[in-house]
Amino acid sequence: MRFFFHLRDVDTYEEDLEGIELPSLAQAIVEARRSAREMVAELVLNDDVVDGRAFEIAGGDGSTLATVAFKDVVRME
């Protein structure tokens, strides 16, 4: 199944036009969380804001299936 990881932040929305083939929504969420962690690391290194950014995972029909907020992939304990 093809999933699209649209990137949303406070002011912008970047649509993923290519998508990625994954076997399930659960795998798509795992991949989105991994990608979000990599992007959070870059944001922190550049002293940029993390809050308000998220991946919206969409299916082939364009419907949003899940959202992965960047702030939720950072462990604070």
Looking at every residue in the chain, the average pLDDT score rounds to 94
pLDDT attached to residue 50: 83
Tens of pLDDT, residues 35-56:
999 999 999 999 988 888 999 9
DSSP string for 29-59:
HHHHHHHHHHHHHHHHHTT---TT-EEEEE-
Is the per-residue pLDDT at 20 higher than 90?
A: yes
In the chain, the number of structural domains is: 1
pTM of the model: 0.90
Residue 29 has pLDDT above 90, yes or no: yes
Number of other CB atoms surrounding residue 75 within 10 Å: 5
Which residue's entry shows tokens 């795998």?
A: 27
Domain that holds residue 29: 2-73
Whether pLDDT at 61 is above 90 = yes
32 pLDDT above the threshold of 90 = yes
